[in-house]
Every structure is written in structure tokens, then in C-alpha cells.
A and B are shown apart, each in its own frame.
Chain A
Amino acid sequence: TQLLEQSPQFLSIQEGENLTVYCNSSSVFSSLQWYRQEPGEGPVLLVTVVTGGEVKKLKRLTFQFGDARKDSSLHITAAQPGDTGLYLCAGTYNAGNMLTFGGGTRLMVKP
């Protein structure tokens, strides 16, 4: 069974703080995606990483793919209340196949 562990499960911080969410697996990913999901809506894609060691930035969000392509992290700088939501990592173990999701990190940013 291929599992994807995401941590922490919950995170409550003050506006302006930094945070990091982790996504780990014992298996090698073909690719990994990060999504953000609002209540009652589908996940919205933030980024796809495919190369070991890859770093991608999206405004205040920085995504890193581990060298061995078994882990990833999402770092948010100077969090804002608008960043509140459920962050999901999801990996594919074969190109074009199903996504295996982590359990999600529920982030709350207080003003």
C-alpha cells in the first residue's frame, strides 16, 4: 500500500507568521501536486513538481520536491487570513495514473 503522510494535520497561526507543511512517502513519486480546498468545493491546483530537488514559488508560497522524490514541503511566508483552508498534497507513482492524497493540513490564519 502506498501511503502519503502529511503533517501537521491542523495549524492555527497569527497573521504574519511563517509555516511549513510536510508531505512524506516511503515510495518514489512520478510527480507531486499541491492543492488548496475550500469547504464545499473541489481542490484547486497550486503547483505540480516533477523533478527531484525542484523548487517552485507562487507569490508567498514556496514548494520543494525532495532530491529522492519521496517528500515535499510547502512553505508560506507572512501568512494572511486569505490563506485559510485545507492544503492537500497528492502524488502519482506512475505518470497519468491516479492520485494518492495525503490526509490534508487544515490551516487557520487569525487576523
Chain B
Amino acid sequence: DTGVSQDPRHKITKRGQNVTFRCDPISEHNRLYWYRQTLGQGPEFLTYFQNEAQLEKSRLLSDRFSAERPKGSFSTLEIQRTEQGDSAMYLCARTVLSSTDTQYFGPGTRLTVL
């Protein structure tokens, strides 16, 4: 158990629809990261939070993407007007206070845009 749950595990949507994913880390007051992984590739960084503050965003995070962590606990990632190129696995990861170098990943949300 990595201490990270993600919901939903799978999402199929039609192009142009909005989707929202949720990530729940086991504890608060740690860093929370979002990554995207396309088929056959390693994950790519999207954004991260320290508590409720969004500290860094990748250039991959276009205007259609928005992430929040309103109370420094769970986080949401929303994609507006989905495109077929958004189809990927969206991964959430947390660190622990004792070792900010190490990230523990959730099971991911697999998004398919038709």
C-alpha cells in the first residue's frame, strides 16, 4: 500500500467533454505530484503542491488543465474540452516528511478520449 488512492481508475469520455480526477494521499502536509504517462513512455511531470500551494507547473499543463488541492489533503485534476491526445494514464504521487526525495505513486486513472 503506497498510501495514495485515485478515483476513478478508468474513464472513457467523448472528445470535448470535461473530466475530473481525484487523488487522496494517506496524510496531509506533504507534497503531492501529478504525472501523465502515455503508452510505452515513462511518466512526465505535470504539477505539484506543497500543502494547498501549487508550486510548479509543467509546460505540458495547457490552459485546459487545472489542478487544485483546496485543503492541503486530496487533490483534483480537471481537463476541459478533452482531446484525443489527452488519452493517457494520470498518476498521482506523494512524498513523506522523512524523505522528500522518494515519491509513492497511486494506481493511476486511465483516460480514454474517443
Q: Which residues of A contact B (CB under 8 A)?
A: 6, 30-31, 33, 35, 40-45, 48, 50, 88, 90, 92, 95-104
Q: Which residues of B contact A (CB under 8 A)?
A: 2, 4, 6, 31, 33, 35, 40-45, 48, 56, 58, 91, 93, 95, 99-108, 110
Closest Cβ–Cβ distance, residue B49 to chain A (whole Å): 12
Given contacts A41-B107, A42-B108, A95-B101, contact A101 B43 (CB under 8 A): yes
**From B6, B41, B99, B105, residue with most partner A Cβ within 10 Å:** B105
Return chain A residues, CB-CB under 8 Å to B95.
96
28 contacts between A and B (CB under 8 A): A33-B101, A33-B103, A35-B105, A40-B110, A41-B108, A42-B2, A42-B6, A42-B91, A42-B93, A42-B107, A42-B108, A45-B104, A88-B43, A90-B103, A92-B101, A95-B101, A96-B31, A96-B100, A97-B48, A98-B33, A98-B56, A98-B58, A99-B43, A99-B93, A101-B42, A102-B42, A103-B42, A104-B40
Return chain A residues, CB-CB under 8 Å to B45.
98-100
The secondary-structure label for the interface of chain B is strand
In the complex formed, the residue of A with least CB distance to B50 is A96
List 6 other contacts, CB 8 Å, given A90-B103, A97-B56, A98-B45.
A42-B4, A42-B105, A45-B2, A98-B58, A102-B42, A104-B41
Given contacts A42-B91, A101-B44, contact A33 B31 (CB under 8 A): no
Closest Cβ–Cβ distance, residue B72 to chain A (whole Å): 16
Closest Cβ–Cβ distance, residue B78 to chain A (whole Å): 20
| B43 in complex: contacting residue of A30, A43, A97, CB < 8 Å | A43
Return chain B residues, CB-CB under 8 Å to A95.
100-101
